[in-house]
Amino acid sequence: EAEVAQSPRYKITEKSQAVAFWCDPISGHATLYWYRQILGQGPELLVQFQDESVVDDSQLPKDRFSAERLKGVDSTLKIQPAELGDSAMYLCASRLTGARETQYFGPGTRLLVL
């Protein structure tokens, strides 16, 4: 069964450094999401793509976070510079375009900022 791939699975970095996360959605899924999940809480949406276009990035801290999906397939989420409060699980999800389709989640990247 096709899955959403994410890498790296774990990342430890020092504050003020740059980090990047990669997501490869299920083939054919035009919609891609990045979520942040702080320990003990539910995921919160950071950005949604439809193909290569950003649909919603209202919750993305744009002073330090950026996201791109240049060819409408895989996507990269970057943090520059990382802060202690960015320590969290970063989840990627994808779905087929269609109102009744569920989102499929990847395994996530756990980030620890020291």
User: What is the smallest separation between the CB atom of 13 and other proteins, expressed in angstroms?
Assistant: 18
Q: How far is the CB of 31 from other proteins (least distance, A)?
A: 7
Shortest distance in whole angstroms from residue 43 CB to other proteins = 5
Catalogue the E-assigned strands of the chain: 5-7, 10-13, 19-24, 31-37, 44-50, 53-56, 65-68, 75-79, 88-95, 104-105, 109-113
Q: Find the helix or strand (DSSP H, E) in which 75 lies.
A: strand 75-79
Q: Which of 58, 44, 33 is nearest to 86 (CA)?
A: 44
**Contact footprint for other proteins (CB under 8 A):** 4, 31, 33, 40-45, 48, 56, 89, 91, 93, 95, 99-100, 102-108, 110
By C-beta, is 61 or 107 nearer to other proteins? Answer: 107
Cβ nearer to other proteins, comparing 22 with 104: 104
Helices (H), the chain: none
CB 92 → other proteins: shortest distance, Å? 9
